[in-house]
Amino acid sequence: MSENLISIQQYAIKHKLSTFATVKLIHQGKIKTIKKVVDAEEREFVIDDSPAHPSHATKAPNVAPSTLDYEAKYNELLAKYSALQEKYTTLLEAYNAKK
């Protein structure tokens, strides 16, 4: 049973709620809690029997790893950057020459 106990903040994150909304649901009785003494301090924990958020619960099966050639992409982007840098320098020189 202790593996089903999580803090209010953890419950809020797991279910994509704000902490305020979670506390509000606790006070409405929609979320069950239990109080336990931890380090001589009484703390409130949520009893969580629900699965994780659906988008996190399932992963895409059999996804092939990326076969991207990073060095080739880097060189391609570097060439584009260099061309843009040259155009910028040319325009800047032309603008300064007009002054």
Range of the domain at 36: 1-52
Bridge-based pairing state of the strands 5-6 and 41-47: antiparallel
Q: Does 62 reside within a domain?
A: no
Task: Tally the domains of the chain.
Answer: 2
pLDDT at 55 over 90: no
Instruction: State the chain's mean pLDDT as an integer.
Output: 84
For residue 34, give every residue at least 6 positions away whose Cβ sits within 8 Å of its Cβ, in sequence order, or none.
5, 44, 45, 47
Q: Does 33 reside within a domain?
A: yes
Q: Are residues 5 and 31 in the same domain?
A: yes
Q: Does 96 reside within a domain?
A: yes
Mean pLDDT over 25-31 rounds to 91
pLDDT at 24: 94
Q: Which of 45, 52, 48 is nearest to 15 (CA)?
A: 52
Q: Which of 3, 85, 93, 92 is nearest to 47 (CA)?
A: 3
pLDDT at 79: 96
pLDDT at 48: 81
pLDDT at 38: 84
12 within 8 A of 25, measured Cβ to Cβ: no
Q: Are residues 73 and 42 in the same domain?
A: no
Q: Are residues 2 and 39 in the same domain?
A: yes
pLDDT at 40 over 50: yes
Higher pLDDT, 55 or 20: 20
Q: Does 59 reside within a domain?
A: no
Q: Does 37 reside within a domain?
A: yes
